Chain A
Amino acid sequence: MSKLNITVNGQIHHLDVPESRTLAQVLRYDLGLTGTKIGCEEAECGICTVLVNGTPVNSCIFPAFKAQGREVQTVEGLAHDGELHPIQQNFIEHGAVQCGFCTPGLMMTATALLNENPDPDDHAIKVALKDTYCRCTGYASVIAAIKSAASEMRGEGPLPVNEPDVSEPMHAISRSVPPQYVREKVTGAAKYTDDYCFDGMLFARTLRAAYPHARILSINTEKAKSLPGVVAVLTHADVPGENLHGLVYRDWPVLCGDVVRYIGDAVAIVAAETEDIAAEALKLIEVEYEPLLVVGDPKFAHSPEAPVLHPNHPTGNLLKHIKVRHGDIEQGFAQADYIVEREYRTPTVEHAFLEPECSIGIPPGVEGHEKLTILVGSQIPYQDRNQIALALGLPEEKVRVIGTLIGGGFGGKEDITGQIHVAMLAQATGRPVKMLYTRQESLAVHPKRHATIIRMKTGATKDGKLVAVEAELYGDGGAYASLSDKVMTRATTHATGPYVVPNAKIDCYAMYTNNPPSGAFRGFGVTQSAFAVESNMDMLAEMIGIDPIEFRRINAQKVGTTTATGQVLRESVGLLETLSHVEHDMVTSDGDFRWAWRDGHKAYAWGLACAYKNTGLGGGAPDRAEAEVEAFEDGSVEVRVASADMGQGLAHVVAQCTAEELKLPYNRVRVLLCDTDLTPNGGPTTASRQTFVSGNAARVTSALLREALTRSAAEFLDVPPETLYYEEGLLRHNGKSVELGQLVGWMKANGLSSKVRHEYHAPATQPLGTGGDMHFAFSYATQAALVEVDMETGAVKVLKIIAGTDIGRAINPLMLQGQVEGGIVMAMGNCLTESYIVENGIPWTNLLSRYKMPSIKHAPEIISHLIEDRVSTGPYGAKGVGEICSINTSPAICNAIYHATGVRIFSLPVDQDALLRAIRAGQTEVYTAWHDVR
């Protein structure tokens, strides 16, 4: 311990802390300033940025004693006397806050910029924020917010917000209200799991497998247990209940005892007084292994030579064979004048949510917790509870899962990570236990987007009518099933694209391998198949000699057409409208439109692609969400639902639905999410379903509460209930009125409840193969990409994206636009920069510095049109948006690259090396990606 004298946000501190501390650790752990977040500890993501003597630095690698005698400014120092700094205010106004985890870093970096440059242009902002990452927003709103703050700070007032046009705005629906908790997120007060601390809390770490595939011969924990400060070391022998978890198939050991199947497998867990001791203890655990043959890729997994990874699985390494059969494939191709058949590859992709996984287990009896409680930022709290209870051998009612704020998810926080482990350690030690994954551990452990190999054959007539699609998909499911079954089903059922294809035969093989598991990732398999579909579409259009837009228009799904799974589309098919909006911006509004042109050594071109994506679970799965809505005597209303807000904005959606039904001001509605004791089950936050199901649950439940309130008010005011109407928190009739709060007081006094709970059931769906409605709604999208290719280096830059997105209704137009912008930029990563590399089961991508996601310098100009083709069963006509915006960007970019260079890309991410060599050699097809460079 030594004396550290630093000034933080104007306050002088004299701290006795170890000299080994980083500045981030001092701020977070010694000063409790948890607004500064830690994302990677590699000086890569920039979200830990604070100012030291006014200069932005990465506090995660900045030694605390380097700040000796200096002034440090953190996000907590931005607001003064409760008044937000213009940067904070403008981040809210311009919709630049989604999950909020990177927000402090973005704002601190922006603060330093504006101190130096009061009027930055886009370029200056991009330079300043180049290494401060945001995975949610796509940066457009961030740039707008910074410019507006600068304008305000110059005394010129804030700039107008880029509000999307929407139709028929209602009282609270189709209004760009600020998201929930946004003030907390911009001030640093928002609490994510690692921001919680409890008295006597222990710190836990996990011992991971030493091999991607090996038999465990012995585990000896004695030395680790005897290390001073270690409180518990647990192995498979200590799992009280069933040593398995899994969302679809229960095939994933809580702690491995006999075999390890991937490098992220957990073998032992340690709880100790400090993180350092826990880490030290891991080194003392002795595990003897017998390495086994590694199944490194899905095609080998399918071969007879491959060892069977899950002997209990009835079809061996074939996790699931998914089939779509529609029409007569042979007849279909017999009618085709043109046929294209190609093989596509897409890589494993990492979510790289900026908040690494964290769980805290609290045993019963601690700090008023009556039962075993787990704090976690999870996308599926009720299924967490179920899986924890089964592993601990407890009834579900004995376990409580409390969802904290989530720093991004994108599908990557659906599976169990540390939840069961901290529950076990809390039970074993009787003390609260926190398990925070390092970024590097997060990269190794949680399921990723499936790498796929897709062979796709598409046939069309000379008139431009699609007649047949035959496809074979291989998906690398990794070591455990996770959501492979569902994800690869979606890849398969969407493999005809949003088109009418009368004959289809599609086979998908999801395979077990010894790679990290694959699971849910925004787009849910459709991202992969859309790359093949939309590339084939452009190739066919060229062969036929038809404009690629016209070709899509001819074949587009419309009301009354049938999907390849046999579903007749009865309403809300906005594809053509998305297409015409994009075409208008790209072609019509440019009097001199050309698909491609050259300027010196730069080639420019447009490319276009379409997509569709289901809303909801579909396939016959019951799709439900339950909500509870309660009115209080202070005139406020609380809506409760266990559905996750990982930044996408579910909380404001349910609040808006409640405000709408009760005609309340939005700020009188509170939202309580994800507490299995206090909030009813909203089901998984996946499949673009929550606006639909939880939005509907909030809508219907609020309407039921309204009826109850109306009945009471009618009695209270002594008027007929049908004459009452709601206005701004009042119930009115002919000049008579009663305040909502007053009415609630009266109801309570009369023994009436002002709380309603109701479970919403989405329209029933049918399983694949039955030909019925597999899904109750689809969202549609068209995107056009303008790219610049440096013909001397092969470097590809996306300059502009025009997006048309049919989402039924924009409940919150500004925040929905943020979903679209964020989805596009994330998809640009999928196309151009991201690949999680695994070499025979060993991840090469073991650091965030080995995984490049798009930074603000990649952010293109985005023009977004929201198409509102209402779906009658959706809340006010809304359907899902989370995924549809992130699916067709990759093929749009690759189609543009083709127009620019004459070279077609068949493997992602685009490799500038191979692209340039193809250009030089006059080759027109590239089948390798950058990870193939050896």
Chain B
Amino acid sequence: MKLWNHYHTPHSIDQALALLNQYQGKAKVVAGGTDLIVELREGHHPIQEALIDVTQIPELTRLTTTDNEIYVGAGITHSEIVKSAVLAARATCLVESCGVIGGPQVRNVGTLGGNVAHALPAGDGTTSLVALDAEAEIVMNGQRRVVPILEMFRGPGQSLIDSTRDVIIGFRFALCGDNEATAFKRIMRPQGVALPILGCATWVRLNPAQTHFEVARLSITPLGPTPGRAAEVEDVLIGQPATDITIEHAIETALQILKPRTSKYRATGDYRKEMIAVLLRRTLQLAVQRARTGQAIPEGIGME
């Protein structure tokens, strides 16, 4: 069945914005289309007058490193992220999370920008961007803006931007340096919809002696309508010895504070609580080990 009437492939952001303006709300931005086109077919959106494919715009397809920062264009595919050696070494959690999205065919066209625009409470790529404390570059209401990643989410499936009007250009975040490392893991259920029971991205910085946590950023999703950070749990780690005992303390705090709901056909609250412990333990131990060794080899790519 016909889901859109026109398909445009602009080569600049200005062209894309002009097209969106021309269609006056009856066109949507599309990148890989692995969510949008499926949702169109399921009748979640009306038939679109046009789709504006932003994956040919140079600014959206760049992946560039400057000193300790990286810029990942919103139109970069999950496969491209997985193949990036610099991301694998210095933003490992992003590679680990994008590497478990769908299968290869989906990762080959699905994009990081699409993952954020879709604004699921537990988008895999999104969860890692939160732990990486990324910023999003967007054009909103015709204005270029840079916003912290967490400001991108307004509710389940609802992002800050309006895809009939605005465009996500890309993401910026600091790459891991000495004594810093990340990890991502998630628990899927083998049945039903391919939604995670729980995903967890962890970013840690150890002190120069590598004995203590200096900073930690934890994103456990989904625990609410939008992705978020587990700040109270992070606080338990900061300044404490980078040991299993500290990690267990953090888990205790997490289990007191975080109240995962029972999600129909997904998992019980009790089970998800157990998984908070498992994921925090596994990702924190892995991140500490990576920070200490300065070596990070992404795990679980393509098989979770």
Contacts and interface: CB of A to CB of B under 8 A. Distances in A.
Interface of A: 18-20, 41-43, 46, 49, 55-58, 61-66, 68, 109, 112, 123, 126-128, 130-132, 275-276, 279, 792-796, 832-835, 837, 844, 847, 849-852, 855, 857, 909, 912-913, 916-917, 920, 930-931, 933-934
B132 to A, nearest CB: 24
B302 A130 contact: yes
A894 to B, nearest CB: 15
Interface string B256-270: 000000111111101
Given A127-B303, A128-B104, A63 B268 contact: no
A455 B277 CA distance: 38
A75 B135 CA distance: 43
Contacts of B79: 55
Contact of A20 (B5, B38, B192, B270): B5
Interface stretch (B90-98, B183-191, B233-241): B183-191
Given A127-B301, A130-B302, A850-B192, A43 B1 contact: no
A91 B7 CA distance: 38
B268 A65 contact: no
Contacts of B4: 19-20, 63
A795 B197 CA distance: 12
Contacts of B41: 41-42, 61
Given A43-B34, A66-B53, A131-B106, A850 B262 contact: no
Contacts, number: 151
Given A20-B3, A57-B109, A65-B9, A852 B191 contact: yes
Contact of B42 (A57, A847, A913): A847
A349 to B, nearest CB: 12
Contacts of A128: 104, 302
B34 A279 contact: no
Contacts of B270: 917
Going nearest first, the 8 A-B pairs with the smallest beta carbon separation are A131-B103, A127-B302, A65-B7, A913-B271, A20-B2, A19-B7, A61-B37, A58-B105
B33 interface: yes
A19 B6 contact: yes
Given A793-B187, A852-B192, A934-B262, A131 B7 contact: no
B158 interface: no
Interface residues of B, number: 49
A525 B208 CA distance: 65
B7 A66 contact: yes
B275 interface: yes
A276 B189 contact: no
Given A42-B38, A55-B108, A128-B302, 16 more contacts: A19-B4, A19-B6, A20-B3, A56-B104, A63-B37, A63-B51, A127-B104, A127-B301, A130-B104, A793-B278, A832-B191, A912-B190, A913-B189, A913-B271, A930-B192, A933-B267
Contacts of B245: none
Contact of B53 (A49, A63, A849): A63
A130 B303 contact: yes
A357 B66 CA distance: 54
B224 interface: no
A279 B3 CA distance: 12
Given A68-B9, A844-B265, A916 B274 contact: yes
A247 B34 CA distance: 41
A62 B33 contact: yes
B190 A852 contact: yes
A217 to B, nearest CB: 26
B297 interface: no
A930 B302 CA distance: 24
Given A63-B7, A66-B7, A850-B193, A109 B278 contact: no
Contacts of A795: 187, 190
Contact of A56 (B30, B108, B265, B267): B108
A696 B41 CA distance: 48
B147 to A, nearest CB: 28
A793 B109 contact: no
A445 B196 CA distance: 29
Contacts of B106: 43, 58, 131
Nearest to B77: A55
Given A49-B105, A56-B104, A131-B106, A912 B189 contact: yes
A811 to B, nearest CB: 35
B105 A109 contact: yes
Nearest to A835: B191
Given A127-B104, A920-B274, A930 B51 contact: no
A19 B189 CA distance: 38
B272 to A, nearest CB: 9
B191 A930 contact: yes
Contacts of A931: 191-192, 265
Contacts of B266: 933
A43 B105 contact: yes
Contacts of B30: 63
Interface string B204-240: 0000000000000000000000000000000000000
B82 to A, nearest CB: 10
Contact of A857 (B9, B193, B303): B303
A141 to B, nearest CB: 20
13 contacts: A19-B6, A42-B41, A55-B79, A66-B9, A131-B102, A793-B187, A795-B190, A835-B191, A837-B192, A837-B265, A852-B192, A909-B191, A913-B267
A933 B264 contact: yes
B18 interface: no
B85 interface: no
Contacts of B2: 18, 20, 276
A855 B191 CA distance: 12
Contacts of B264: 933-934
A68 B193 CA distance: 33
Interface string B16-55: 0000000000000010011001100110000000010101
Interface in B259-302: 262-268, 270-271, 274-275, 278, 301-302
Given A63-B33, A132-B103, A833 B7 contact: no
A66 B77 CA distance: 14
A296 B1 CA distance: 32
A442 to B, nearest CB: 15
B34 A61 contact: yes
A916 B270 CA distance: 10
Identify the interface centre among B1, B30, B194, B266: most chain A CB within 10 Å of its CB: B1
Contacts of B34: 43, 58, 61
Nearest to A915: B271
Contacts of A131: 102-106
Nearest to B53: A66
Nearest to B2: A20
B194 A849 contact: yes
A844 B37 CA distance: 21
Contacts of A61: 33-34, 37-38, 41
Contacts of B274: 792-793, 916-917, 920
A144 B19 CA distance: 50
A832 B38 contact: no
B7 A933 contact: no
Contacts of A41: 41
A833 B191 contact: yes
Contacts of B103: 46, 130-132, 855
Nearest to B279: A793
A131 B104 CA distance: 7
Contact of A933 (B5, B105, B109, B265): B265
Contacts of A49: 105
A62 B109 contact: yes
A563 B39 CA distance: 53
Given A43-B38, A46-B105, A849-B193, A793 B275 contact: yes
Contacts of B268: 913, 917, 933
A930 B265 contact: yes
Nearest to A931: B265
A55 B83 CA distance: 14
A275 B1 contact: yes
